[in-house]
Amino acid sequence: MKKILINLFVLLFLLTNQSIAEENIMILKLKDGDVKIELFPDVAPNHVKRIKELADSGKYDGVVFHRVIDGFMAQTGDVQFGNSSNDNFDLRRAGMGGSDLPDLKQEFNSLPHDRGTLSMARAQDPNSANSQFFICFKPAPFLDRQYTVFGKVIEGMEHVDSIKRGDSNNNGAVDDPDKIISFKSL
């Protein structure tokens, strides 16, 4: 009887951990394929909550990668002006908006800005992150502890690598940019 209870406890533990792990996985669908992302609620709980809320309500679907700098990062997430599916889409203003939710307080942490890192974009005010985020193509240690890292690509980075690059003379602004097809929890 004791052995059965121990086995049941171990099974319950494993199932619970699998469920917790899956709730922190998201799929970013891009033109060339799916990107699997692990979120880090333990170090950036409010940012993860915001990303999940916007993603699961479809706010990121159709949003363009408005700023893409080769060898650095791809920026997206302007659900106000950067959503190519909305009436107020304006590529000239993409990157200037956010969501209708209040800005977030920074949750800077010790996670490095490595290749595949997802981090929140912000204005000069450290507490101004809202909906925009970027994915690093290469390590960017100069951003560490100055921007909130909230996730990392764990599969499909080659699809991020194929996002159309922007004009290096115009701070990475992209003409006819690629967009997020969908972004949802697993």
Residues 6+ apart with CB under 8 A from 133: 51, 75, 76, 77, 118, 119, 120, 121, 150
| 109-168 tens-digit pLDDT | 999 999 999 999 999 999 999 999 999 999 999 999 999 999 999 999 999 999 999 988
pLDDT for residue 11: 47
Could you tell me if residue 14 is inside a domain?
no
Residue 19: inside a domain: no
pLDDT at 7: 55
Residue 170: per-residue pLDDT = 86
Cα–Cα distance, 97 to 43 (Å, whole number): 25
Is 150 inside any structural domain?
Answer: yes
Q: What is the pLDDT of residues 81-112, one digit of tens each?
A: 777 777 767 767 677 888 999 999 999 999 99
Q: In this structure, is residue 9 part of a structural domain?
A: no
86-109 burial, b for 16+ CB within 10 Å, e for fewer?
eeebebeebbebbbeeebbebbeb
Q: What is the mean pLDDT of the chain?
A: 88
157, containing H or E segment: helix 157-161
- Kindly state whether residue 158 falls inside one of the protein's structural domains: yes
In a domain, 30, yes or no: yes
User: How many structural domains does the chain have?
Assistant: 1
CATH code: domain of residue 72: 2.40.100.10
Please tell me the distance from the alpha carbon of residue 31 to that of residue 163, in angstroms, as a whole number.
Answer: 8
Q: Is the pLDDT of residue 169 over 80?
A: yes
Domain span including residue 144: 26-185
